[in-house]
Structure 1
Amino acid sequence: MKDTPMYIPTFEDMLEAHARIQPYIRRTPVRTSDYLNELTGAELFFKCENFQEPGAFKVRGASNAVFGLDEEQAAKGVATHSSGNHASCLSYAAMKRGIPCNVVMPRTAPQAKKDTVRRYGGKITECEPSTSSREETFARVQAETGGDFVHPYNDHRVIAGQGTCAREFIEQTDGLDAVVAPIGGGGMISGTCLTLSTLAPDTQVIAAEPEQADDAYRSFKAGYIIADDAPKTIADGLLVPLKDLTWHFVSNHVSEIYTASDPEIIDAMKLIWKHLRVVMEPSSAVPLATILKNPDAFKGKRVGLIITGGNVDLDRLPWTL
């Protein structure tokens, strides 16, 4: 299996992506909460990417990749591996273009995410919940289908698409002191870095990660990529390691990475459900959890948080397990 060749996307790539994907995405709203502002001592702005049609920000990068294919490539469809949201969003984009989509998903992925993939016409092949099993299974699937490999995050087309979220965010808030987003493989963080380094260079980009899957944090401190094969955390969307392209953005542009425990993530998730009144998944609660854990780093600042997805299994809420 070959990843997309190393090409570092530019601000112009992000602008082109935003124009390309406009018919297939929503300009998601930004929500605030007086209670959460008082609780944290910061002025918080929540960008609700859970309101995208497939329920996650990844529709941006997926749509950019799918609609950027020429007709010959598109005829063979697309293929990927994903724990859920990228699979859903790529299936959605492929459905909109009318091309096949094959995805490899861990057998332990939430049923809600599998259902979403199938609803959009994606074909699922299951694998064991480890990076090695995921990549080995995908190599077989891609060889059989010939689909264009759209990596969940280590793909310049995907990163350029994800960067469109930060462009909207800055426009909707008249500027922010910091933007905090979850980090797994680093697609959203990389897109945020790509956009803000040009559009708002004084805005800090801060990553938020589960303690039980903290390879990005350890990589950031060590200065090189440290990859875990099969971490376990309630934040199931953040189980994958950084790759060379996302590491470029993380190592050069991210100001800090903070971590939070699973109980802290669940508590933050409850707060957002209660006070913002929006449905979001555990991975999306990690930014608020890290702000609550490190209040001095954010006190008195205008802070943007990206609610990355809302595809939660309502029959298996984390506080009921």
Structure 2
Amino acid sequence: MASTLNGFPVTLDDVTSARDRILRHLHYTPVLTSSTFDSKYGRKFYFKAENFQKTGSFKSRGALNAVTKLVEEKQERVVGVTTHSSGNHGQALAWAAQHCGLPCNVIVPRNTPTVKIDAIKGYGADVTLCEPNPTSRAETCAAICSEKNYVYIPSADHYDVMAGQGTIALEFLEQVPMLDAILVAASAGGMVSGIACAAKQLKPEIKIFVVEPFGKDLERCLREGKRLWPEPPQYVDTIAEGIRIQQLGKLAFPIVLSLAEKEVFTTTNAQIVEGMRFAFERMKVVIEGASGAVIAAAMSKRLRRMDGRLRHVGVILCGGNVDIDHIPWLPTREA
């Protein structure tokens, strides 16, 4: 999978093979539109509703592709799989492992929303809690791999995971061939890498814009052409827990550097809430903070100032796994 045919580490063949492998087990997610949104923000927007995907997020695409391909290649030698996750990839891997008949253990930070932990357990996986920092996640996962001889499937920095996420772009460009740009939220960068690889091979002129939470500082890294983040990896302070990892993965960063635009949309908590509220109130769909960030980018003055020829803009609603007892604009409930 680490081929670089035509400069793309994830080729269009990789993505179409992933689609053949997983499509019958997943939803072909709809594209939503809002004339109110278009009128207010001056372009045609198309919202790819991955919040309606299996397990409530796009993550099931990459997890299922990685696990099924692993089983195809290694068969009875696969004892089980594991990962560390803020929630959505953990749910997706648990679901994919259950689908393939494999044991699964997911390491999650102690402050992960209960709704996500319960969902992971609901798909039959064991859950191990760790401290809420990237180092603890990685160390706890490594211990599980050593103890149980499980295979580690990362949430983003894995070419088979990226190929699975790239199937979003195949669908999206079938549904809306005239897309000029796609806005994609990034945590470690697996989704944006997969989408960028697939979309740029199908339509080289399309622009891929990354959306991040405040504190990630990705634009500076892209403009200087190198990873400038401190070690060890950190979380940023954001209500969008699905995109709180500060660093892009080491496989993802060069893909994003090569294929995505250098202009990055940075969103504050207040802007994320505004995006979420629009989806809840006007579009009647439940989305989580990472999706709210992408809607906030679509609302932004920065996008409005960009080239008017970018008429048709895709927006990836990446997930809808919300803890309804802790929606960010509601008062905290008393115990």
Report TM bin, short chain.
over 0.9
Alignment match of 2:75 (pick from 71, 77, 85): 71
The offset of 1:6, in angstroms, is: 9.2
Matched AA of 1:246: A
Q: Which residue number corresponds to residue 228 of structure 2?
A: 226
Q: Which residue number corresponds to residue 320 of structure 2?
A: 310
Given that 1:41 and 1:298 are in contact with CA atoms closer than 8 Å, whether structure 2 keeps it comes out as no
CA deviation string 1:205-250 (max 9, x = no partner): 0011111x42433322332123351322001000222122101211
**CA–CA separation in structure 2 for the residues paired with 1:90 and 1:170:** 26
**CA–CA separation in structure 1 for the residues paired with 2:129 and 2:327:** 23
SS of the residue 1:192 aligns to: helix
Q: Which residue number corresponds to residue 48 of structure 1?
A: 49
Q: Which residue number corresponds to residue 305 of structure 2?
A: 296
TM value normalised by structure 2: 0.91
The alignment status of 1:282 with 2:282, answered yes or no, reads: no
Matched AA of 2:223: K
The offset of 1:298, in angstroms, is: 6.5
SS of the residue 1:191 aligns to: helix
Given that 1:42 and 1:298 are in contact with CA atoms closer than 8 Å, whether structure 2 keeps it comes out as no
Alignment match of 2:103 (pick from 100, 104, 113): 100
**CA–CA separation in structure 2 for the residues paired with 1:216 and 1:144:** 36
**CA–CA separation in structure 1 for the residues paired with 2:128 and 2:87:** 12
Alignment match of 1:236 (pick from 225, 233, 241): 241
SS of the residue 2:264 aligns to: strand
Q: Which residue number corresponds to residue 279 of structure 2?
A: 272
Q: Which residue number corresponds to residue 196 of structure 2?
A: 193
Aligned residues: 316
CA deviation string 1:58-99 (max 9, x = no partner): 10000001111231243x111111101000001001111111
**CA–CA separation in structure 2 for the residues paired with 1:183 and 1:282:** 12
Matched AA of 2:298: I
The alignment status of 1:253 with 2:296, answered yes or no, reads: no
**CA–CA separation in structure 1 for the residues paired with 2:168 and 2:30:** 11
Given that 1:112 and 1:313 are in contact with CA atoms closer than 8 Å, whether structure 2 keeps it comes out as yes
**CA–CA separation in structure 1 for the residues paired with 2:101 and 2:270:** 42
Matched AA of 1:59: S
**CA–CA separation in structure 2 for the residues paired with 1:198 and 1:6:** 15
The offset of 1:5, in angstroms, is: 7.9
Given that 2:240 and 2:290 are in contact with CA atoms closer than 8 Å, whether structure 1 keeps it comes out as yes
Matched AA of 1:72: E
**CA–CA separation in structure 1 for the residues paired with 2:154 and 2:11:** 18
- List alignment gaps of at least 5 residues for structure 1: none
Matched AA of 1:224: K
The offset of 1:280, in angstroms, is: 0.6
Change (3 A) 1:144 1:131: same
**CA–CA separation in structure 2 for the residues paired with 1:219 and 1:41:** 30
The alignment status of 1:184 with 2:194, answered yes or no, reads: no
CA deviation string 1:88-113 (max 9, x = no partner): 00100111111111111111111111
**CA–CA separation in structure 1 for the residues paired with 2:136 and 2:225:** 27
Change (3 A) 1:243 1:194: same
Q: Which residue number corresponds to residue 22 of structure 2?
A: 21
**CA–CA separation in structure 2 for the residues paired with 1:231 and 1:6:** 33
**CA–CA separation in structure 2 for the residues paired with 1:47 and 1:90:** 22
**CA–CA separation in structure 2 for the residues paired with 1:28 and 1:275:** 19
Given that 1:73 and 1:148 are in contact with CA atoms closer than 8 Å, whether structure 2 keeps it comes out as no
Q: CA RMSD in A?
A: 1.6
The alignment status of 1:210 with 2:220, answered yes or no, reads: no
The offset of 1:273, in angstroms, is: 1.3
* Overall identity of the aligned pairs, in %: 36
**CA–CA separation in structure 1 for the residues paired with 2:185 and 2:220:** 15
CA deviation string 1:161-211 (max 9, x = no partner): 000001100000122010001011111100111101110111100011111
The offset of 1:301, in angstroms, is: 1.4
